[in-house]
Structure 1
């Protein structure tokens, strides 16, 4: 499943970059995130509860930020497991300054699911994935 889009943030590029690398901001922006802990530089463990029917459940996730080019872009890799299955994602996140006080966050990635979750139709999963990602970036924009 492919997930891509963009969101406009009313903040400068440096402030947006800082927010995208701040565990407290990531916790607030991630839908259903109960906790997030940095286990080593740019690697996090998170406890996430998703309340959307097809993927409902508690997930233990590992999130890695790779290939950083501050403050331009990075690669985000996520693996989340629950009794119902797993979700894996890999995305490129890019920041573009529209002005000194407006930044556009572009994201482009893929996600795979397995286990019982995979039994749900691809169309439904794609819609849920896009909803969760869009919610994350909209919440992040409010935190900057």
Structure 2
């Protein structure tokens, strides 16, 4: 099983500034930045104007490591202590389901595994130790 684990930072509306800061401070290469406004429209959901320029997902390469980052979605609670999560990228949906099912034991599902515009299978769990995990299927790696 191929598994990649990356720190994932959650900022409170200042994600664009954080990307530039880490780029300079850590001599990072910006692999990509996508805003909520660049996402495909969701039927029955209107994106709030204040969310359009917020970072939905950013990836920076720092040496041989990867740092991921996003802004907290407007209206969602921003809790200090929750601004660092762990992103796990797996090659297949079966691997993602297995890891998701094991991490949910004693934990809380934040977002059930589901297809998204960026992953065939993505979900979030806060485990029994209070750590938030983002499980993502990335068959291209």
TM-score by length of 1: 0.29
User: Larger relative contact order (C-alpha < 8 A, sep ≥ 6)?
Assistant: 1
TM-score by length of 2: 0.29
